[in-house]
């Protein structure tokens, strides 16, 4: 029973109108629609009739009633429910006297309510209105009995009082029996209850705004619609917006009574359409059909998958086929064979690129620690990442290699436990990052981003060489020189004045009287540079303790104000070494030191910074110091020392190639100048690079790429030291959509893309990580609900992505609960739960595209895939395809990747644009999955069978020639055979064909063959062996390790303490296994036995078998 609105006088007339509508309405065929529904309801003992709102509105006699339903839903539902009961009794015939059936409440359920409201829009709608809402059920509670009518009975005389529950308020029990005055007791058996269930409905992924956190709303199911839905179901509901008191919290005392909106659901249905949000118009269908006939369709779709990521065509083709999927089959015995294709990428396709919280990011307003940029609002949870949508102007390098202010879109942080890398440069810049965080480097005339783990001393990385103009109002009311002095002064603040004690290290540099404001009072001065001043006002940033003091950014980065500021700083704290020609200044905070460093570099100087004991010293030497003194108006005679000219590393060979195309004396002279830098590997001086480019321009030779680098805002600084340490804490990243980089601690670093792109182009895409942020994780969980205190069933990522694609990063880091449940999810495509009295089976008909990282950081091809990553063979065997993304050095490939990335960053790369727009590709995939069910042809089946049989035979023949094999390896199993059928069907879907051709089968075979070369090939024996992921290790490895254990057992008897020298074991095993010269493989086997806990090392250089427990 729905309550919440007072009963009105016209309810009887409303009931009559509804009853007349149910009796008289005819559909387009002329049949009485609701009479047929009534007969079916009576036959199945249902107590509800679903009334289509469009029927109610289309009927002239009830159009006003239909409009009234939206405004006063409670009254209308109550009247319509009475009409439904009467209507069913009229059509029940002999069953109309069934008291058990007709004594229960009946309901009118309304579908197709025209007011469709998104979950995040519900707060803007009035209470008590009826709306239609769609979403995903993420949580379902147990079923409870809700009191609808309380009956109190007198124990003495049996007198009863019935008290209906209105507005969810339980009435006060009667004090005594009105008949005899005795106490009355609550009669549980005579009271009426209705089934009650709470669910949580969340926005669908496709409804989210970019970067938005999914909103949810709680809803109530009553009576016969209880247990109609389960977690993961996509539902459409008709509901009334209502309000409930929030459970008591600390906020009540601060803000007063708090309330939450919820939905009272009148009608609910699960969505039957798989891709209802992908609207395909007739025009779209014509475009889709036209695209399907494109002879280069497959190539275009492959290139449309993460086009900014270079290469990996085989993997991208596999991803494309996974998005289309095969056909689901149900055999005659009821066995279901999945059609979804599961794909695993082993390597580093999408890793966290982060900086530590103490890094300073260059913003237009200031230099700020990155951990101070996260807002206090609730973040979006994206796997392990906490993301805030936040826009601010940050310094970033654009495609012309100019530093400019760009708008950020988000900031993220995540918990990082593991290695952190500290990179220090020759100029003294230092930053701590995760191993995968990229720095901008330069190689062979091309800029590229390299991971921190690949950076070594001697590399050159990019430093911000220019600070763009600040669009900030200058609030300077004090002379810049005085601000520089005040930074180093003792400042005491009293009620009436601000007292400043100053000691100038170089008092002769400036006239103190010239910079003292009129309102300031000079109280004391002597010849040694000591003076005392009093002020009415100074900047707040100067009032702080010395280590927390700051200098305003608008002054530091002001071309006219900065020299004056430096004059005051040098007067107060500058140490001038005239003999060595050097100026050094100590600053109390890293923030101020970084600002001064960037400002000096922006002026063309190349200072150095060193830090010790919380102090940061900046040194300017030689010609730089002399020029700085001249510019700020200080007359100091210092020793002159010519500084090395700015150089650009990694461009010497390219400049030599350019000069090689020019036949002139000038070119020959430049080649002589350039040669010494090329042969020594030193950076090419900027002046020489400009001379070469000028000559190339006059000779009609294009050198645009090098010209961009030479004229850029980047200064290349040599890496001096790289250190590693263990870390456990928060790391941060900033999303800059336009350029995908920002300036942190003066260095240009890249921000965090294959799995996330796939989740965007899938019609139902969901991106998460293996270690989910909720209790439900990847599968599902039973959690205690805070509002009811009972247990609720919560859906995980695979359930929410039902009939879609789940892109799961860090798949190897899933919880133990998920590991146990995911076996069923990947094969039977269901998730079974039996906990806390809740028994349920949820659908997880999901394509899984997952990424995992090798346990030891790098993939060891001598070991099986099961030994390389932290996933058991039982899970690995459920993937149709497994690929290893390797990072093997290749000069030609590296050059092409560098060119692709550089041109993409500069906006010149046409390959970075998808040939098929994302929206069209989404519609194409949805259309194919909805409408195409290809049939396997005889030719395709024979092609797959021939490959399967040839692989089985080939491996057997090969194994007979290998002496270190006890039995033939298994190159392919029926699981891979099923995968071939799915892949063939998916390719037919890609072309919108109704038949699977032999060509489709051949493409599927090539994809499987590529997988077998990656993870199913035993390098030692040269045979294909799927034991590497179907079991723990290759068969040859198992055989060798068994023989090594036998040998070690025999050798232990030869030594008194049973400790066998490792070197002797390796040598003897190599002899017995005919592997002399391949001792490195024996060493790997011994290490694997040690890691498996079968042997141990009693002392360095010796091994022993772990004793068995009796």
Going by C-alpha positions, the residue among 726, 508, 466 that lies closest to residue 601 is: 466
Confidence band of 8 (pLDDT split at 50, 70, 90): very low
Confidence band of 981 (pLDDT split at 50, 70, 90): very high
Of 721, 752, 783, the one marking the end of a domain is 752
Sign of CA dihedral 229, 234, 236, 241: positive
Of 850, 885, 920, the one marking the end of a domain is 885
Tell me the CA end-to-end span of the chain in Å, nearest whole number. 66
Going by C-alpha positions, the residue among 714, 1072, 1102, 760 that lies closest to residue 917 is: 760
CATH of the domain at 821: 3.40.50.300
* Segment among 106-115, 405-414, 465-474 with least mean pLDDT: 465-474
Confirm whether 805 is domain-assigned. yes
pLDDT at 36 over 50: yes
Burial of residue 264 (CB within 10 Å: 0-12, 13-18, 19+) is buried
Sign of CA dihedral 593, 594, 599, 600: positive
Confidence band of 1109 (pLDDT split at 50, 70, 90): low
Residues 1096 and 964 in one domain: no
Residues 6 or more apart whose CB falls under 8 angstroms from that of 1036 comprise 962, 964, 965, 969, 1018, 1020, 1021, 1023, 1025
Residues 6 or more apart whose CB falls under 8 angstroms from that of 577 comprise 583, 584, 638
Please report the pLDDT score of residue 306 as a whole number.
65
Confirm whether 642 is domain-assigned. no
Residues 267 and 132 in one domain: yes
Other C-beta atoms lying within 10 Å of the C-beta of residue 293? 9
Average the pLDDT over 941-958 and give the result: 80
**Distance between CA 747 and CA 742 in Å, rounded?**
8
Measured CA distances, 411 to 53, 200, 733, 735, 742 (Å): 45, 28, 6, 6, 12
Please report the pLDDT score of residue 1001 as a whole number.
94
Confidence band of 753 (pLDDT split at 50, 70, 90): very low
CATH of the domain at 533: 3.10.28.10
Backbone angles phi, psi at 932, to 5 degrees: -110, 125
Please report the pLDDT score of residue 995 as a whole number.
94
Higher pLDDT among residues 205 and 92, named by residue? 92
Residue 21 DSSP SS3: helix
Residues 854 and 943 in one domain: no
Q: What is the pLDDT of residues 1012-1041, one digit of tens each?
A: 887 877 777 777 777 767 777 777 788 888
Residues 127 and 104 in one domain: no
What's the DSSP call for residue 231?
Answer: T
The token duo for 256 is: 């007063």
Could you identify the residue written with the tokens 């392990």?
Answer: 384
Residues 1098 and 1067 in one domain: yes
The token duo for 573 is: 């704290």
The token duo for 929 is: 């999955």
Higher pLDDT among residues 204 and 667, named by residue? 667
Average the pLDDT over 482-492 and give the result: 85
Please report the pLDDT score of residue 744 as a whole number.
92
pLDDT at 70 over 50: yes
**Helices 665-680 and 686-698, packing angle to 10 deg:** 140
Range of the domain at 690: 647-710
**Distance between CA 283 and CA 641 in Å, rounded?**
73
Confidence band of 935 (pLDDT split at 50, 70, 90): very high
Full-model pTM: 0.53
* Segment among 235-244, 681-690, 950-959 with least mean pLDDT: 950-959
Could you identify the residue written with the tokens 């300073």?
Answer: 360
Residues 700 and 723 in one domain: no
Please report the pLDDT score of residue 754 as a whole number.
45
Could you identify the residue written with the tokens 């012309």?
Answer: 400
Average the pLDDT over 781-789 and give the result: 63
Residues 31 and 165 in one domain: no
Measured CA distances, 204 to 59, 138, 216, 277, 825 (Å): 34, 10, 10, 10, 21
Q: What is the pLDDT of residues 618-630, one digit of tens each?
A: 999 888 888 888 8
- Computed over every residue of the chain, the mean pLDDT equals 80
Do 204 and 134 touch, CB atoms closer than 8 A?
yes
Number of compact structural domains in the chain: 8
Please report the pLDDT score of residue 422 as a whole number.
94
pLDDT at 308 over 60: no
Residues 386 and 331 in one domain: no
Residues 875 and 763 in one domain: yes
Confirm whether 293 is domain-assigned. no
pLDDT at 484 over 70: yes
Other C-beta atoms lying within 10 Å of the C-beta of residue 567? 26
Please list the residues that pair with 141 across neighbouring strands.
Answer: 792
Residues 1079 and 1099 in one domain: yes
Average the pLDDT over 919-926 and give the result: 86
Please report the pLDDT score of residue 998 as a whole number.
93
Higher pLDDT among residues 947 and 475, named by residue? 947
Of 112, 144, 160, the one marking the end of a domain is 112
Residues 683 and 731 in one domain: no
Measured CA distances, 415 to 374, 384, 436, 969 (Å): 14, 7, 15, 43
Confirm whether 891 is domain-assigned. no
Average the pLDDT over 37-43 and give the result: 84
Please report the pLDDT score of residue 559 as a whole number.
85
Q: What is the pLDDT of residues 266-277, one digit of tens each?
A: 999 886 444 445
Q: What is the pLDDT of residues 833-891, one digit of tens each?
A: 777 666 777 778 888 888 887 765 566 777 777 777 878 888 888 888 888 876 554 55
Please report the pLDDT score of residue 775 as a whole number.
41
Going by C-alpha positions, the residue among 566, 546, 547 that lies closest to residue 480 is: 566
CATH of the domain at 1052: 1.10.10.10
CATH of the domain at 969: 1.10.8
Residues 861 and 766 in one domain: yes
**Distance between CA 32 and CA 55 in Å, rounded?**
12
């Amino acid at each position: 029973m729905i309550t919440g609105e007072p009963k009105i006088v016209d309810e009887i007339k409303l009931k009559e109108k509804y009853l007349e509508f149910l009796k008289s309405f005819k559909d387009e065929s002329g049949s009485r629609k609701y009479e047929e529904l009534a007969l079916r309801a009576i036959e199945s003992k249902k107590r509800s009739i679903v009334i289509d709102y469009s029927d109610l509105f289309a009927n002239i006699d009830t159009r006003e009633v239909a409009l009234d339903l939206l405004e006063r839903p409670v009254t209308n539902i109550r009247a319509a429910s009475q009409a439904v009961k009467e209507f069913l009794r009229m059509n029940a015939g002999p069953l109309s006297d069934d008291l058990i059936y007709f004594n229960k409440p009946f309901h009118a359920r309304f579908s197709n309510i025209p007011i469709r409201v998104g979950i995040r829009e519900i707060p803007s709608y009035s209470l008590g209105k009826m709306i239609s809402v769609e979403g995903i059920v993420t949580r379902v509670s147990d079923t409870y009995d809700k009191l609808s009518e309380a009956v109190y009975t007198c124990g003495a005389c049996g007198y009863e009082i019935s008290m209906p529950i209105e507005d969810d308020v339980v009435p006060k029990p009667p004090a005594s029996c009105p008949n005899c005055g005795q106490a009355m007791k609550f009669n549980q058996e005579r009271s009426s209850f209705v089934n009650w269930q709470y669910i949580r409905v969340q926005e669908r992924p496709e409804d989210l705004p970019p970067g938005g956190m999914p909103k949810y709303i709680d809803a109530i199911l009553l009576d016969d619609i209880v247990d109609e839905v389960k977690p993961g179901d996509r539902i459409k509901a008709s509901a009334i917006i209502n309000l409930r008191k929030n459970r008591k919290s600390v906020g009540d005392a601060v803000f007063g009574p708090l309330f939450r909106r919820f939905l009272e659901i009148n009608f609910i249905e699960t969505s039957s359409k798989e891709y209802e949000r992908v609207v395909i118009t007739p025009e779209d269908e014509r475009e889709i059909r036209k695209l399907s006939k494109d002879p280069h369709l497959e190539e275009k779709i492959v290139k449309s998958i993460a086009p900014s990521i270079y290469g990996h065509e085989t993997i991208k083709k596999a991803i494309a086929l996974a998005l289309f999927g095969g056909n689901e089959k149900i055999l005659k015995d009821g066995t279901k064979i999945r059609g979804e294709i599961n794909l695993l990428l082993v390597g580093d396709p999408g890793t966290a690129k982060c900086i530590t919280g103490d890094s300073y990011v260059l913003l237009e307003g200031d230099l700020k620690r990155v951990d101070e940029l996260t807002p206090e609002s609730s973040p979006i949870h994206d796997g392990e990442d906490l993301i805030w949508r936040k826009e601010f102007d940050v310094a970033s390098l654009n495609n012309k290699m100019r530093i400019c202010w760009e708008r950020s879109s988000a900031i993220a942080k995540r918990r990082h436990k593991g290695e952190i890398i500290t990179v220090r440069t020759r100029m003294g810049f230092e930053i701590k990052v995760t191993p995968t965080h990229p720095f901008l480097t330069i190689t062979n005339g091309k800029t590229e981003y390299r991971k921190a783990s690949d950076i070594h001393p001697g590399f050159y990385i990019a430093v911000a060489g220019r600070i763009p103009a600040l669009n900030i109002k200058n609030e300077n009311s004090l002379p810049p020189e005085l601000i520089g002095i005040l930074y180093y002064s003792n400042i005491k603040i009293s009620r009436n004045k601000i007292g400043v004690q100053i000691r100038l290290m170089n008092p002769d540099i400036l006239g103190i009287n010239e910079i003292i404001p009129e309102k300031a009072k000079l109280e004391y001065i002597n010849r040694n540079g000591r003076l005392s001043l009093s002020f009415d006002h100074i900047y707040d940033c100067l009032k702080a303790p010395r280590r927390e003091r700051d200098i305003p950014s608008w002054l530091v980065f002001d071309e006219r104000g900065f020299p004056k500021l430096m004059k005051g700083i040098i007067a107060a704290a500058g140490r001038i070494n005239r003999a060595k020609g050097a100026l050094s200044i100590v600053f109390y905070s890293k923030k101020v030191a970084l600002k001064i460093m960037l400002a000096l570099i922006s002026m063309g100087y190349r200072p150095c910074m060193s830090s010790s004991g919380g102090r940061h010293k900046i040194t300017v030497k030689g010609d730089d110091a002399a020029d700085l003194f001249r510019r700020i108006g200080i007359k100091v005679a210092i020793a002159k020392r010519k500084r090395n000219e700015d150089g650009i590393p990694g461009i010497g060979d390219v400049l030599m190639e350019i000069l090689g195309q020019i036949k002139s004396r000038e070119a020959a002279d430049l080649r002589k100048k350039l040669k010494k830098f090329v042969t020594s590997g030193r950076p090419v001086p900027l002046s020489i690079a400009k001379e070469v480019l000028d000559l190339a321009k006059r000779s009609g030779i294009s050198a645009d790429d090098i010209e961009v680098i030479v004229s850029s805002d980047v200064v290349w600084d040599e890496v001096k030291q790289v250190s590693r340490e263990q870390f456990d804490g928060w790391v941060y990243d900033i999303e800059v959509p336009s350029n995908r980089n920002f300036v942190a601690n003066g260095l240009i670093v890249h921000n965090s893309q294959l799995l996330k792109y796939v989740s965007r182009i899938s019609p139902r895409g969901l991106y998460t990580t293996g270690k989910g942020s909720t209790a439900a994780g990847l599968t599902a969980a039973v959690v205690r609900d805070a509002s009811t205190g009972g247990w609720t069933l919560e859906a995980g990522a695979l359930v929410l992505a039902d009939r879609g694609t789940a892109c799961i990063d860090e798949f190897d880091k899933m919880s133990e609960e998920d590991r146990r449940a995911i076996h069923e999810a990947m094969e039977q495509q269901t998730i079974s739960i039996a906990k806390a009295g809740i028994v349920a089976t949820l659908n997880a008909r999901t394509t899984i595209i997952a990424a995992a990282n090798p346990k030891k950081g790098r993939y060891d091809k001598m070991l099986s895939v099961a030994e390389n990553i932290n996933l058991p063979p039982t899970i690995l065997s459920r993937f149709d395809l497994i690929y290893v993304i390797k990072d093997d050095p290749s000069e030609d490939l590296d050059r092409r990747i560098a060119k692709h990335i550089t041109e993409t960053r500069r906006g010149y790369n046409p390959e970075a644009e998808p040939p098929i727009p994302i929206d069209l590709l989404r519609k194409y995939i949805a259309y194919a999955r909805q409408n195409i069910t290809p049939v396997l042809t005889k030719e395709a089946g024979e092609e797959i069978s021939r490959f399967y049989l040839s692989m089985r035979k080939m491996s057997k023949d090969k194994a007979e020639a290998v002496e270190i094999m006890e039995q033939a390896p298994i190159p392919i199993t029926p699981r891979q055979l099923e995968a071939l059928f799915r892949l063939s069907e998916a390719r037919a879907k890609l072309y919108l064909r109704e038949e699977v051709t032999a060509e489709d089968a051949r493409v599927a075979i090539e994809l499987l063959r590529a997988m077998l070369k990656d993870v199913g090939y035993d390098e030692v024996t040269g045979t294909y062996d799927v034991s590497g992921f179907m079991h723990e290790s290759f068969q040859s490895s198992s055989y060798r390790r068994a023989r090594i254990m036998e040998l070690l057992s025999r050798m232990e008897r030869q030594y008194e303490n049973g400790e066998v020298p490792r070197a002797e074991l390796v040598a003897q095993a190599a002899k017995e296994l005919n592997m002399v010269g391949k001792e490195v493989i024996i060493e790997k086997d011994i290490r694997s036995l040690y890691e498996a806990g079968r042997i141990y090392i009693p002392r360095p250089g010796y091994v022993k078998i772990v004793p068995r427990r009796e």
